[in-house]
Amino acid sequence: MRCEVCGRKIYGKSHRAVIEGAKLTVCSECAKHGTATWEEPIPKIPASKPKATHQPLKIQSKKQTETAIDTSLELTGNFDQKIRQAREKLGLSHEDLGKKINEKVSLLRKIETRKMTPDNKLVTKLEYALKIKLLTPFTEEKIPQRNIPKQTNRELTLGDLIELNKKRKGEPEERKLS
């Protein structure tokens, strides 16, 4: 058993004392700081603990019960403008919105000035409070394919790349000396 004030392990007798209005189990040193109520001996712990015949009940924490955020969604590019416009449309100040979603005002200002990007939990709070959509389906950027002719007998040279670039821009080719 440990003292509820200093945290030391209590050997021998534990003391029950009232310290600043709280009834605590304390060591003899900390009992001097309060009014002693009663003393009780420490129960003796058996050398071997009996094995439990059943599994302990697992309690889910709030974090485990939260809904999972879909990873196929991404934050829109103009999230800062959407948040500001929706907040102003509802007539909310930063302070009002902060109280509504239980977040700091400085955090909301940083998000609206794009100094910070909100995490998924904050995005869902903002979507619900402002009645807007900030998450959109994830889209991969397509990289344009370049039409570079491949020759089987030799590798592409720097000169070939320059010629291809000129053809794309529509510049006339320089004449080659023979």
Q: Which two tokens stand for residue 8?
A: 């030391």
Is 25 contained in some domain? yes
> CA-to-CA distance for 129 and 97, rounded, in angstroms?
8
- Residue 159 within any structural domain of the chain: no
Statement to judge: residues 35 and 78 lie in one domain: no
Distances (CA, A) of 13 to 1, 35, 46, 55: 10, 16, 18, 34
Per-range mean pLDDT, top range of 75-79, 105-109, 168-172? 105-109
| Structure letter (DSSP) for residue 40 | E
Q: How many whole angstroms separate alpha carbon 79 and alpha carbon 112? A: 8
**Inside any domain, residue 91:** yes
- Coil vs helix vs strand at 85: helix
Q: Residue 152 falls within a domain, yes or no?
A: no
> When comparing pLDDT for 156 and 71, which is higher?
156
* Domain total in the chain: 2
Does residue 146 lie within any of the structural domains? no
Inside any domain, residue 21: yes
> What is residue 105's DSSP assignment?
H
**Which class for 122: exposed (0-12), middle (13-18), buried (19 or more C-beta within 10 A)?**
middle
Q: Is residue 68 part of a domain?
A: no
Most confident of 7-16, 63-72, 167-176: 7-16
77/133 same-domain check: yes
Gap between the Cα atoms of 154 and 122, Å rounded: 56
In the three-class reduction of DSSP (H, G, I as helix; E, B as strand; rest coil), residue 163 is classed as: helix
- Tens of pLDDT, residues 35-67: 766 555 555 666 655 555 555 555 555 554 445
Same domain, yes or no, for 78 and 127?
Answer: yes
Q: Do both 33 and 85 map to the same domain? A: no
Residues 31 and 78 in one domain: no
Nearest-angstrom CA–CA distance, 37 and 17 = 5
Closest CA to 112 of 78, 75, 65: 78
27 and 82 part of one domain: no
pTM above 0.85, yes or no: no
Q: Does some domain include residue 5?
A: yes
The answer on 131 and 78 residing in a single domain is: yes
For the stretch 84-127, pLDDT in tens is 999 999 999 999 999 999 999 999 999 999 999 999 899 999 99
- For residue 117, the domain's CATH number is 1.10.260.40
Domain that holds residue 29: 1-40
